[in-house]
Structure 1
Amino acid sequence: MSQSKVLGEERRSRLLSKLKQAQAPIKGSEFAKQFNVSRQVIVGDVSLLKAKNEPIVATSQGYLYIRNEIDPVMFERSVVCSHTSEQTAEELTLLVDHGVLVKDVSIEHPLYGDLTASLHLHNRKEVAAFVEKAAASGATYLLELTEGIHLHTIAARTEEDLDRAIRALDEAGFLVQ
Structure 2
Amino acid sequence: MSTADRRRKITEKLTEKGGPLKGGDLAVQFGVSRQVIVQDMAVLRAEGLQVVATPRGYMLLSPLRPEGIVKTVVTRHGDYKSMEEELRIMVNNGARVLNVIVEHPVYGEITGNLMISTPEDVSRFMDNITGSEGEPLSSLTGGVHLHTLEVRDEASWKKILRALKEKNYLPDEK
Aligned to 1:83: 77
3-state SS in 2 of match to 1:107: strand
Quote the residue 1:3 is aligned against.
none
The residue identity in structure 2 corresponding to 1:165 is: I
Q: CA deviation at 1:91?
A: 0.6
- Superposition deviation, residue 73 in structure 1: 3.7
Residue in structure 2 matched with residue 71 of structure 1 by the alignment = 65
Distance 2:79 2:18 in 1: 30
What is the aligned-residue identity percentage? 36
CA distance in 2, matches of 1:171, 1:135: 25
Residue 122 of structure 2, aligned match among 120, 127, 136: 127
Match 1:171 to one of 158, 166, 172: 166
**What is the RMSD of the two structures over their aligned residues, measured on CA atoms?**
1.1
Match of 2:100 in 1: 105
Residue 148 of structure 2 corresponds to residue 153 of structure 1: yes
CA deviation profile, 1:95-125 (whole Å, cap 9, x unmatched): 1000100000000000100001100100111
Unpaired segments of 5 or more residues in structure 2? Answer: none
* Amino acid in structure 1 at the alignment position of 2:166: E
User: For the residues of structure 1 that align with 2:68 and 2:25, how far apart are their CA atoms?
Assistant: 30
Inter-partner Cα distance in structure 1 for 2:45 and 2:161: 32
Deviates more, 1:167-176 or 1:110-119: 167-176
- Is the counterpart of residue 48 in structure 1 residue 43 in structure 2? yes
TM-score normalised by length of structure 2: 0.94
Shift of the 158–7 alpha-carbon distance from structure 1 to 2, 3 Å rule, reads same
Distance 2:158 2:3 in 1: 46
In the TM superposition, what is the alpha-carbon distance from 1:67 to its structure 2 partner?
2.2
Given the alignment, which residue of 24, 36, 47 partners 1:29? 24
1:9 corresponds in structure 2 to 4
1:55–1:65 CA contact under 8 A, matched in 2:
yes
Deviation at 1:44, TM superposition (A): 0.6
2:133 is the counterpart of 1:138? yes
Q: Which amino acid aligns with 2:70?
A: E
Partner Cα distance (2:132, 2:120) in 1? 18
Return 93-102 or 159-168, whichever deviates more.
159-168
| Structure 1 residue ranges (4+ consecutive) displaced by more than 6 angstroms after TM superposition | none
Contact 1:155 1:162 in 2 (8 A): no
Unpaired segments ≥5 residues, structure 1: 1-5
Q: How many residue pairs get matched?
A: 171
Cα distance in 1, alignment partners of residues 161 and 47 from structure 2: 35
Given the two structures, how large is their TM-score scaled by the length of structure 1?
0.93
